Structures are given as structure tokens and as C-alpha cells.
Amino acid sequence: LNADRPHRIDALEYSRWDRSLFEQWRDGGLTCVHVTVSIWEDARATLDEIGGWNRRLREHADLLRPIDRAADLEAARVEGRTGVVLGFQNCSPFEDDLDLVQIFHQLGVRVAQLSYNNQSLLGGSCYEAADAGLSRFGRRVVAEMNRVGMLVDLSHVGARTCLDAIELSSRPVAVTHANPRSFYDHPRNKTDDVLTALAARGGVIGLAPYPHLTPDDCSLADWCTMAARTAELMGGAEHIGIGSDVSLGLDQADLDWIRMGRWTHEVDYGAGTAQQPGWLEPPEWFRGPADFPGLAGGLSGAGFSDDEVAGIMGGNFDRLFSETFEPVGAAAPALR
């Protein structure tokens, strides 16, 4: 057992899920990764995705461990395995059915984003021209997520819906993968008011080396300076983590599905543009999960203390996940 192994958590990945990726997680010392199991899938199709993860978790049990509760995060760390948190980047698996929140919690899903690139049944998206805030159904889903122990993710969510959810949620929430709008002006990046509200309620943002969300030619030093400014804005480094949003092994057909699903017959570029329509080359300082350890040196160079670096590298998401993955109340009755 590796009692001293540090928490290293990647708060968002969406890749081709194969053993070579899981070996990169091991090589990067990752103790936990939040993986996306649904983008546009409905409830039935999401069962297929979860079934696939059930098999992967068994077949690669030497490298992986499922994360259902706080104790699993600690177990994965000391066992030298990578804990896998299942999550949604959309609410499509919930359809219009409040019962499905608990159903998917029973199936191991611990994180759900309230909307993806389009307005959802729950609220607005950062790509829509306007955002009416959390819907009537959305308010009930957030309360149900709070009850069962499912972390609210606001990454692609519109600003007004973000603020509504932060205010309504009885438990801290997350932006698993984004940067501040002040660092780089992109719809996916977050405005200062969202970031300060997030921090005021104990939330954490996973900062992203993802090239669509950073300026051109962003260096590790630039990115870490941004992290330091974000920590200052949010009142402390405990509100910062890393959500790489890295996608390895996916092709153009995968990207078309991610961006266009079934909702348009015309090209939509998602986070990209007509000038940059495909997968971008990742920065040389973060080509994949195996490069995770290298971020620590950059963070130290930007002035973070050793404790702060440890928190950003994983301790802060470990705390947030531990606080939000189980039903409310330590001695709560069984969910069912």
C-alpha cells in the first residue's frame, strides 16, 4: 500500500476507453479520473455505456477501481489504482423523469452537468444566445441530485443557470473543466461573477489545458499564472483543481457526434471554429494524462505553496467528491 501516494485527480476526460489510456493514467499517477459516459444519450442508450464501464472495470481491475463513495477515493489512492468516477456531460439520460436521478446514482453515476452545448430540460447552455435560468424541472433535479449524492457540474452551462444552481444547491457544486473568461474569451470559460459565487458556496473549478479554452501558444507558465489569478479571485487555492478535458483516440466521427449529436443537420463547430474545425493539437506541456505530474512544477513556479499545489493536483476535488457522492446525512437511511 502507498499511504503517501498523493491525490492526483483529473476532473474531466472523454477519450477512447482502452487499456493504453488506463496505462497513461497509471504513468501519470492519477488516483481518480471523472469520465464522461453520456453526451446526447437517452436513458436506454446510457445503460449500454454503463454496461461497457462495468466490463472495463472488471477487465482492468489491476489498474482501475470504481468510485461510489468517499472511501473508494481513499482506497484507490493507497492501492495504486486509478479511481473512475462516472459522469454525464448532459442531462439527456434523465429524460423528463425525476426518478432517473436516483436510478443512475444506483448505477454509479456521481456527476451530472445540467446542460451541454444546447439548452436542456434543466436550463441554459453557454452556447445559447440567452439563458432563462434553471427550469421548473431543473430545480427539482438539482434538489434530487443533492439528496441522492450526485455532484452538479456547471461546465458547459449558461451563466444565469450557473448562478441559479449555485444558489439553489444545498451542497457545493463544480465546474469540472473550464477557465476564467478573463483569461480567454470563449463561451465555455466562466465569468468572474460565476467563479466568485461558486467559491462562496465551497465549489471547485477544474482548470483546463484544453487548447480551445486557452489563448494560442499558451505556455505552462501562462496557464499557471492564470491559475494563481483565479485562486486570488476565488479567495483561495482550495477552489482550484484540474479538469484536462483531454480526448485521446477519438476521430472526426466521434467529434461530429460530440458536437452535433442528432440535433442539427448542419455543421456545428462546438468549441472549435470554421478555421479550427477538428481536434486541436494539445499543448506540448500536456499531451495526455501521463503529463499530469509536470503541472505541479509549473504551479509551484507561479507561487503556490506545496500544500496548495497538492490541493490543486487532486486534494481539492478529493474533498469535493467526498462531500457530495453520498446521500445527505451521515446516518441517513438507505436511499431505496
| 115 belongs to the binding site for a copy of itself (CB under 8 A) | no
In three-state secondary structure terms, 59 is helix
**Binding to a copy of itself in span 27-86, by CB under 8 A:** 43-44, 47-48, 50-55, 57-58, 61, 65-66
Distance CA 176, CA 160 (A): 18
Q: How far is the CB of 44 from a copy of itself (least distance, A)?
A: 5
Q: Quick one: which of 180, 202, 203 has its CA closest to 191?
A: 180
CA angle 326, 334, 317 (to 5 degrees): 5
Cβ atoms of 114 and 120 within 8 Å: the answer is yes
| 107 belongs to the binding site for a copy of itself (CB under 8 A) | yes
Q: Which residue blocks in 123-251 are alpha helix, DSSP H? A: 136-148, 159-168, 192-200, 220-234
Region of 103-111, 164-172, 182-190, 273-281 interacting with a copy of itself (CB under 8 A): 103-111
Q: Which three cell numbers stand for residue 68?
A: 461510489
Q: Quick one: which of 119, 120, 117 has its CA closest to 93?
A: 120
Closer by beta carbon to a copy of itself, 1 or else 274: 1
**Binding to a copy of itself in span 296-335, by CB under 8 A:** 333-335
In three-state secondary structure terms, 219 is coil
CA angle 55, 58, 61 (to 5 degrees): 140
- DSSP strand E in the chain: where? 9-13, 32-38, 64-66, 82-88, 109-113, 151-153, 174-175, 204-207, 240-242
Q: How far is the CB of 48 from a copy of itself (least distance, A)?
A: 7
Q: How far is the CB of 320 from a copy of itself (least distance, A)?
A: 22
Q: Contact with a copy of itself (CB under 8 A): which of 2, 106, 170, 305?
A: 106
Closer by beta carbon to a copy of itself, 18 or else 99: 99
Q: Which residue blocks in 238-284 are alpha helix, DSSP H? A: 252-260
CB atoms within 10 A of CB 132: 14
Closer by beta carbon to a copy of itself, 16 or else 55: 55
Closer by beta carbon to a copy of itself, 87 or else 241: 87
Q: Contact with a copy of itself (CB under 8 A): which of 30, 63, 76, 100?
A: 100
Q: How far is the CB of 51 from a copy of itself (least distance, A)?
A: 3
Per 3-state DSSP, the chain is made up of helix, strand and coil in percentages (nearest 5) of 40, 15, 45
Q: How far is the CB of 121 from a copy of itself (least distance, A)?
A: 17
Closer by beta carbon to a copy of itself, 47 or else 255: 47
Q: Contact with a copy of itself (CB under 8 A): which of 24, 102, 125, 189?
A: 102
Closer by beta carbon to a copy of itself, 2 or else 106: 106
| 121 belongs to the binding site for a copy of itself (CB under 8 A) | no
Cα distances (Å, whole numbers) of residue 310 to 21, 69, 129, 285, 315: 23, 21, 38, 19, 6
Q: Contact with a copy of itself (CB under 8 A): which of 27, 69, 74, 103?
A: 103
Compute how many residues bind a copy of itself; rule: CB under 8 A: 27
Region of 96-104, 206-214, 242-250, 315-323 interacting with a copy of itself (CB under 8 A): 96-104
Residues in contact with a copy of itself by CB under 8 A are 43-44, 47-48, 50-55, 57-58, 61, 65-66, 97, 99-100, 102-103, 106-108, 333-336
